[in-house]
């Protein structure tokens, strides 16, 4: 879609604490003709929702210590017609079901690109994804995601992450070497 006389650009708010991912998605959607807003936290996202009323919202499930589900509830209170897509690298059936219950249109696991997100919004008129359509991550994937989340929460300190996980530091180092982080 392009802006011009009589044509309104679709609006999109991207809420993610990962600046690289957020800016990459923003560029991709600007190139597609969207009016894009960005936020790294709930407070900024809520202020943008109240002020600019974007019709589409992509929100990361985990925003540091905050939950993207809080934003889903608030966004739909501000604008019940907004379409929300939850985007996360820490997916599970339980969080997917909760996101849909809270009013999310769709739930996508990372890595998801602008095409995936646009398809999720386009399919928004048909209702949320059925729980059986949500891919179930393997146990190894869930373990890897959990280890990396704890490591990130520990500021990259392997000794601290190992303590929080109840592992010996060397065991954690072996696990990290086996599945190197993807960035």
Query: Three-class SS string for 112-180?
Result: CCHHHHHHHHHHHHHCCCCHHHCCCCCHHHHHHHHHHHHHHHCCCCHHHHHHHHCCCHHHHHHHHHHCC
Q: Which of 40-49, 52-61, 170-179 has the lowest mean pLDDT?
A: 170-179
Q: Which of 8-12, 103-107, 134-138 has the lowest mean pLDDT?
A: 134-138
Considering only residues 144 and 103, tell me which one the structure prediction assigns the higher pLDDT: 103
Return the CATH number of 139-178, one of 3.60.9.10, 3.40.1190.20, 2.40.30.30, 1.10.10.60: 1.10.10.60
- If we measure between CA atoms, which residue out of 135, 126, 81, 136 comes closest to residue 103? 81
- If we measure between CA atoms, which residue out of 118, 119, 12, 116 comes closest to residue 55? 12
Average of per-residue pLDDT across 32-40: 95
Which pLDDT does position 3 carry in this prediction?
Answer: 41
Q: Give the percent of the chain with pLDDT over 70.
A: 83
> The domain 11-133 belongs to what CATH superfamily?
Response regulator (3.40.50.2300)
User: Domain segments of the chain: what residues?
Assistant: 11-133, 139-178
Check whether 31 has a pLDDT greater than 60.
Answer: yes
Q: Which of 18-22, 89-93, 133-137, 142-146 has the lowest mean pLDDT?
A: 133-137
Tell me the pLDDT of the chain averaged across its residues. Answer: 81
């Amino acid at each position: 879609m392009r802006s011009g006389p009589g044509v309104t650009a679709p609006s999109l708010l991207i809420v993610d604490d990962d600046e690289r991912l957020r800016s990459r998605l923003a560029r991709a959607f600007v190139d597609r003709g969207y009016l894009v807003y960005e936020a790294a936290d709930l407070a900024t996202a809520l202020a943008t929702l109240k002020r600019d009323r974007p019709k589409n919202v992509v929100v990361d499930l985990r925003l540091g210590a905050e939950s993207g589900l809080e934003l889903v509830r608030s966004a739909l209170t501000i604008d019940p017609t907004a379409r929300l897509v939850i985007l996360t690298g820490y997916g599970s059936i339980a969080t997917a079901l909760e996101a849909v219950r809270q009013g999310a249109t769709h739930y996508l696991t990372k890595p998801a690109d602008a095409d995936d997100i646009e398809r999720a919004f386009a399919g928004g008129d048909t209702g949320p994804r059925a729980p059986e359509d949500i891919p179930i991550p393997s146990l190894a994937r869930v373990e890897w995601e959990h280890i990396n989340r704890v490591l990130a929460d520990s500021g990259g300190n392997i000794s601290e992450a190992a303590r929080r996980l109840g592992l010996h530091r060397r065991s954690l180092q072996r696990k990290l070497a086996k599945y190197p982080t993807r960035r």
